[in-house]
Structure 1
Amino acid sequence: MNESVPTDWLDQPARPLDQAAAQAATERQGRLTKPPGALGQLEYLAIRLAAMQGRTCPAVDQVAITVFAADHGIAAAGVSAFPQSVTAAMVRNFLRGGAAISVAARSLGAQLSIVDVGVAHPVEVPADAVAHFYKHAVAAGTADSRSGPAMTPAQCAQALDAGRASVDAALAAGAQLYIGGEMGIANTTAAAALACLLTDASATRLCGPGTGLDAAGVAHKVEVVDALIHRHAADSAGDALEALRRVGGFEIAALVGALVRCAQRGLPALVDGFIVSVAALVAQRLCPDVADWCFYAHQSAEPGHRHVLDACGAQPLLALDMRLGEGTGAAMAVPLLRMACDLHAGMATFDEAGVADGQ
């Protein structure tokens, strides 16, 4: 960054994967009552989780889902189909248990937390709130990045730290898997601009309808992102953290901090759609070993997501044409990880079943 930012913790290395546990899990897969490789990617998922958790038979029973909410100054450019007030309204919906991620969390038995890192309108916590709520507001939304950086260095550092704190809290509560979600009107514009700066892709390639723009709305969004690239590219060239500060959002920065912290502390992360994948790309640029600790849940219907996944070197587990955000796509992939673990631990070996293994 161009100014001093207290983010030294980002330089801490990721926890190494446990190669002995991975080898033991691989050997176990070879002894299970099935042809080698017959369970395809489910075998690979179980072995990767074993390396992450340092145990031959991993588990993802305890899932922490944290949704970061914030608003964006770039919304003033008219890049969203909805007004900023929807961000606060959706936070209340999360807290009451009425949103898609709320339903998914209940279905999974997951712990759901909502973190306000910069919602522009007041958030009233309902008396019947069913999710944990944390106020870590940096400001009432970012600045309009058409006229300057979206965040000051101190604000960016504070947002990153909100993500770090959420992972530390999840681990203290016994989490075995972390999902980060987001809510913020205009955040697909911020994410698209950030991905353009990181990958040199065009705005046309990375801009999509977001929450429901029509063709004219998408064309306008492309114009806005093009202007952001023109304004900020030279000052952020080769510096992912500076790109984040200039065109990102508080919730995107929090997700970056969370994914880096997951890698540092050895907590597997399940990455959601377009916006979280852009945060993962930033996190990987800051700490390449973050890639070892991430599963990518799905390829969303947002047009730029495939490009971002490729930039991350990621192969998504699902493709369901989802584009809701909130962490919902990641939640859909949790049963797949659980099944991989259950098959790995629960199937009999050839010796246990008294079946010849053909060798």
Structure 2
Amino acid sequence: MIPMPQPQAALAQAARERQSQLTKPAGSLGRLEDLAIWLAARLPSPTPMRLKPMLAIFAADHGVATEGVSAFPAEVTAQMVINFLNGGAAINVLARQHQISLAIIDVGVANDYPNNSQSIAKLFRTPIANGTANLRHAPAMSEAQCQKAWQIGFSIAQEAAKAGKTLLIAGEMGIANTTAAAALICALTGHAAEDIVGLGTGINPASRALKVQVVNDAIARATASGANSAQDWLREVGGFEIAALAGFYAGAAAAGVPALLDGFITTAAALVAVKHDAAIGQWLIASHASQEQGHRLALQALELEPLLDLGLRLGEASGAALCVPLLQSALALHGEMATFAEAGVAASNME
């Protein structure tokens, strides 16, 4: 296990002291003050500069899609990759608006698609296989495949850190990946499938009942095979993109760069990463609470409080991208507001 750097408590204290001197009532900017202090300990500076965000979308297919757990056919994974590359998806709009560099990493898309040299986003094709096996009936991937996917994500985060990025964001695309994510969350938290499984891409109640059964069957199968550690469960019921996401969060933490979580699937991956090494949790921020049923329970397991709750369930890192200007604002207020002394304003005389 790679030793993780630690947030710097002295810088957090310096940032906290600065907050107490800014021309505002103490605590009047609420969580924006907490965010500035949290980031100061990790960027690291008592007054951090504007964030340089990077966003990676990991894409892969899932064998469990054949069980009918998604409202969309499996070929949509490849079609959405094309949409990302052509700049037409929601995340493309948000990345452009908030000046976030965007890369697409294919770690196991089953259907072929053209590689357009005029693509808007960078494409990295590193497919491990044409999707995972059906997790209801067999391990989703082999140990070697799981390690390869993890390492791909880890390396992407490390390269982004070396390039000077100071906020790392990951998204995902993979039809049926909410089933894999739900199974992981159930396995790693002990919650029942009925409490975690949601509507995913918009399935009906009958399909949700099937999805609950699929998750229960997968957990029973993996338990019987001896699954115990987070890595065991990732291999048994995860996905290539989920393994890459977990590796991405590990790579961000190892590089000492904050990582911003998106929705249900990325939170399941973060849970795997933190169960593997608890120190990774010190580098994670939760962007939002999605509409997916079990997301808040997964965030509670990570002891993270989301910044937003807008009823989103799109994925793609759309919720995370929406939080980038919020984080930028927290740092701008922290660094650019005048102190009472600088502005010649009398400070509060209340202790």
TM-score (norm 2): 0.97
Structure 2 unaligned blocks of 5 or more: none
Change (3 A) 1:236 1:297: farther
CA distance in 2, matches of 1:265, 1:173: 11
Q: Percent of counterpart pairs with the same letter?
A: 50
Corresponding residue of 2:249: 259
CA distance in 1, matches of 2:252, 2:226: 25
CA distance in 2, matches of 1:140, 1:358: 63
CA RMSD between the two structures: 1.0
Corresponding residue of 1:18: 8
CA distance in 2, matches of 1:151, 1:237: 13
Say which SS state the counterpart of residue 53 (structure 1) adopts. Answer: coil
- Spell out the pairing of 1:210-221 with structure 2 (5 A cutoff): 210-221=200-211
Query: 2:47 is matched by which residue type in structure 1?
Result: C
Matched, 1:39 2:15: no
Corresponding residue of 1:8: none
Matched, 1:206 2:196: yes
CA contact (8 A) 1:256 1:279 kept: yes
- Spell out the pairing of 1:217-236 with structure 2 (5 A cutoff): 217-236=207-226
Number of positions where the alignment pairs a residue of Structure 1 with one of Structure 2: 349
Matched, 1:299 2:289: yes
Shift of 1:238: 3.7
CA distance in 1, matches of 2:6, 2:194: 38
Corresponding residue of 1:155: 145
**Match among 160, 169, 191 for residue 159 of structure 2:** 169
CA distance in 1, matches of 2:95, 2:256: 22
Shift of 1:146: 2.1
Stretch moving more, 74-83 or 56-65: 56-65
CA distance in 1, matches of 2:45, 2:192: 43
Change (3 A) 1:236 1:261: farther
CA distance in 2, matches of 1:94, 1:54: 33
Shift of 1:236: 5.0
TM-score (norm 1): 0.95
Q: Provide, for residues 21-54 of structure 1, a one-character-per-residue CA deviation record: whole Å limited to 9, x for no partner.
A: 1111111101101111111110000000000012
CA contact (8 A) 2:128 2:240 kept: yes
Q: Provide, for residues 80-126 of structure 1, a one-character-per-residue CA deviation record: whole Å limited to 9, x for no partner.
A: 11111100000010001000011110011110000000000013122
Shift of 1:242: 0.3
Shift of 1:225: 0.8
**Match among 101, 110, 119 for residue 120 of structure 1:** 110
Corresponding residue of 1:273: 263
**Match among 307, 311, 319 for residue 321 of structure 1:** 311
CA distance in 2, matches of 1:13, 1:318: 32
Query: 2:145 is matched by which residue type in structure 1?
Result: Q
Corresponding residue of 1:55: 45
Matched, 1:88 2:78: yes
Q: Provide, for residues 284-323 of structure 1, a one-character-per-residue CA deviation record: whole Å limited to 9, x for no partner.
A: 1011111110110000000111111111111000000000
CA distance in 2, matches of 1:238, 1:151: 16
Matched, 1:288 2:315: no
CA distance in 2, matches of 1:26, 1:87: 45
Structure 1 unaligned blocks of 5 or more: 1-10
Shift of 1:196: 0.9
CA distance in 1, matches of 2:208, 2:232: 26
Shift of 1:230: 1.1
CA distance in 2, matches of 1:293, 1:37: 23
